[in-house]
Amino acid sequence: MPENNVGSNGPMSGAGIPTKSKIRIVVADDHPIFRDGLCKLLALEDDFEVVAQAQDGRQVLDVLQQLEPDILLLDLKMPGLDGLATLQRLQAARNKTRVIVLTASDDKNEFVQAMKLGTSGIVLKQTATELLIKSIRKVHAGEIWLDSHTTAAVIRTFVAADEAAAAAPPQQLSPAPRDRERSPLSQREREIVALVAQGFKNKEMAEKMFISEQTVKNHLHNIFDKLGVSDRLELALYAIHNNLHTGR
């Protein structure tokens, strides 16, 4: 059974005074020693509360349905329902918990699959503790977290896919890539690309740029067409790879 209420601090202080809302976290990993050690580390942070643990994907689904935490730290290699299968179920259920994959795997294809299944961040288990803590706060704030190693690996996968597509026999609408090359991004489009890479949603971009959400969607449609990308993840990775993520 899931181990609930690991965190010792509730929403009220001993004097009955409301405290600042904490980031509610679930840790999912099939190795008890690693899982318990991680929970103890997270409990040292004043703004974190570990509300449950899970040892496989089915426990994760149950716990998230019951507790609706802010963040799920999810291992990919678990018995029964593994991490990727769990992500598929969460995506289908439109679960609002933000997921950070915490993995020892170095399989860039798994990184890509995880991101396309709605993961907000990927952290390798050999990463320094302070970076994991930072990633939790960043993802909770609505940003995407990929460290330099992971980003490079995912970008290489997309580049390889692009090269494979370029080497494939031409199809009827093959002139499109040439058209994209002759259509550089406008300054406004570059600003939107930078915001996407920083993890902003359409509504947030609209408010930040003082334009309508529909205008943002129109710009994104044009950007996708010009760059030949199919989704926000590819766009974000393209931006990082081409140094467009700062908006400069």
8 versus 101: the higher-pLDDT residue is 101
Do 42 and 111 have their domain in common?
A: yes
Say whether pTM exceeds 0.75. Answer: no
Residue with the larger pLDDT of the pair 149 and 60: 60
pLDDT surpasses 90 at 38 = yes
Considering the domain architecture, whether residues 92 and 189 belong to the same structural domain is answered as no
Say if residue 121 is in the same domain as residue 182: no
Identify the residue with better confidence: 157 or 89: 89
CATH number of the domain within which 121 lies: 3.40.50.2300
Least confident range of 10-19, 28-37, 59-68, 153-162:
10-19
Residue of 42, 11, 45, 9 lying closest to 27 (CA atoms)? 42
Residue 154's pLDDT band (boundaries 50, 70, 90)?
low
| Residues 132 and 195 reside in one and the same domain | no
Which residue would you say has higher pLDDT here, 106 or 170?
A: 106
Residue type, position 67, single letter: L
Sign of torsion over alpha carbons 11, 102, 76, 159: positive
Can you tell me the distance from the alpha carbon of 106 to that of 104, in angstroms, rounded to the nearest whole number? 7
More confident: 79 or 243:
79
Provide the pLDDT for residue 183.
Answer: 63
Whether 34 is in a domain gets the answer yes
pLDDT digits (tens, 9 = 90+) for 190-236: 999 888 877 788 898 999 999 999 999 999 999 988 888 877 777 87
pLDDT of 17 over the 70 cut = no
For residue range 47-93, list pLDDT tens digits in order: 999 999 999 999 999 999 999 999 999 999 998 899 999 999 999 99
* Pair 229, 222: CB distance under 8 Å: no
**CATH code for the domain of 191:** 1.10.10.10
Give the model's pLDDT for residue 176: 35
Residue among 6, 13, 10 nearest 73 (CA): 6
Residue, of 109 and 54, whose pLDDT is higher = 54
**Structural domain harbouring 179:** 169-241
| Statement: residue 133 has pLDDT above 50 | yes
Q: How far from chain centre, in Å, is Cα 141? A: 11
Give the end of a domain, one of 82, 116, 150.
150
Same domain, 35 and 127: yes
The DSSP code for 185 is P
Same domain, 137 and 222: no
Q: Where in 75-215 does DSSP place strands (E)?
A: 98-103, 121-124, 145-146
pLDDT at 55: 94
